[in-house]
Amino acid sequence: MNFDPFTSSAATDASENYVLYDNRLCANYPSLDAAKSMDFEAQSDANLTQTIVVADEEDQLRLDSFLVSHFSKHSRVRLQRAISKGDVLVDGKKAKSSTRLKPGQSVACQPIETPTEGPIPEDIPLDLIYEDDHLVAINKPPSMVVHPAKGHWSGTMTAALAFHFKSLSSIGGPTRPGIVHRLDRDTSGVILVAKTDQAHAALGRQFQDRTVEKEYYAIVTPAPDRDRDIIDKPIGEHPYQREKKAIRENHRSSRAAVSMYEVIERLNGFALVRVKPKTGRTHQIRVHMAHVGCPVVCDRLYGGRARLSVGDLNRSDDQTMLLERQALHAKRIAFDHPESGDRMELECPLPADMEALMEALRNRA
């Protein structure tokens, strides 16, 4: 659960300079009013030690995962580096990233170094589907990373945005200008970018309140037995593969996740499905479809196959490649315009690689 001083219930502990939010003590706020005036993560820039008491639902959470959940603006690598340097103490003692926490323990974190340099502008073409003075909607191609990360320092969407736009919101920090939400690297489709901080905040509230409607198209195999269904299964950490998520019932990392799907077209053991996620968990659609036995085609993590050729379909030696990434596309998004309040719907067509696979499936004997 992320700490939000503007929406959480609050009380003060008169004996200490602590503020109690959602039954969690947070140090170094001289008063409740002072706490409300400062973003929790922004304390890193105020030379204050941040102290958080581990909540019951965070029992046995790894220290680095605990910090990621409370300091989402920082990467796991940067937080692990802070732990290694001794800038993070558990009950006043140094700890490891793998340390498992217990309810009631106190985690104190020194100011976390924040990158001050933004992305280097790169002349990368962007497919704009909407633009005004407040926001931009982009049809993100597959294989494009949204923001810089380990192994992907160039060729990112933020580098392209820095080249094409003079002004973008700063709420996401210098490395993520304008980024309101994200798509996985190999997921294509519509993504919103805020030009102003006001637009960013307004859009962010809508995502938090789940009033943004998102619709994805996916090609899955085998085809679902049902024409439509609701998948209501919590998602949490994978038990032994860090890069994956998994269905986790009653686990400390479990978060509610709901997806609704409908079969659009059945294609000889495959199916094109429309999926509407009610929640926005990492890898949600991919995990949910794999859970019901119908993984997204070419999903390396959850489907077991990273590419699909013509020969794979017709059992021939034809190595012509049809798809080399997960067949998942963010087709439509609906939201209230951050300035006018008018309801907007934006969508983009299926990309060429998914269209080619659909055609090959239709023509398959």
Pairing of strands 328-336, 188-194: parallel
For the record, the structure tokens of 2 come out as 């992320």
Order of all β-strands in the sheet with 18-21:
10-13, 18-21, 24-27, 50-53, 106-109, 88-90, 93-94
Candidate list 39, 56, 184, 318, residue with the active-site label: 184
- The CA distance from 144 to 154, in Å, is 10
Bridge partners (DSSP) of residue 138 are: 128, 191
**127 catalytic per annotation:** no
By C-alpha distance, which of 73, 72, 71 is closest to 88? Answer: 71
- DSSP states of 290-340: HHTT-PBTT-TTTTS-S-EEHHHHHTSS---EEESS--EEEEEEEEE-TTT
φ, ψ at 330 (rounded to 5°):
-80, 100
Amino acid, res. 231: I
- The CA distance from 30 to 264, in Å, is 57
DSSP-derived secondary structure letter, 81: H
For the record, the structure tokens of 4 come out as 């939000």
φ, ψ at 355 (rounded to 5°):
-65, -40
Burial class from Cβ neighbours inside 10 Å (0-12, 13-18, 19+) for residue 340 reads: exposed
Residues 231/349, Cβ–Cβ less than 8 Å = no
Residues in Cβ contact with 225 at an 8 Å cutoff, skipping those fewer than 6 apart = none
By C-alpha distance, which of 297, 293, 294 is closest to 308? Answer: 297
Catalytic residue ranges: 184
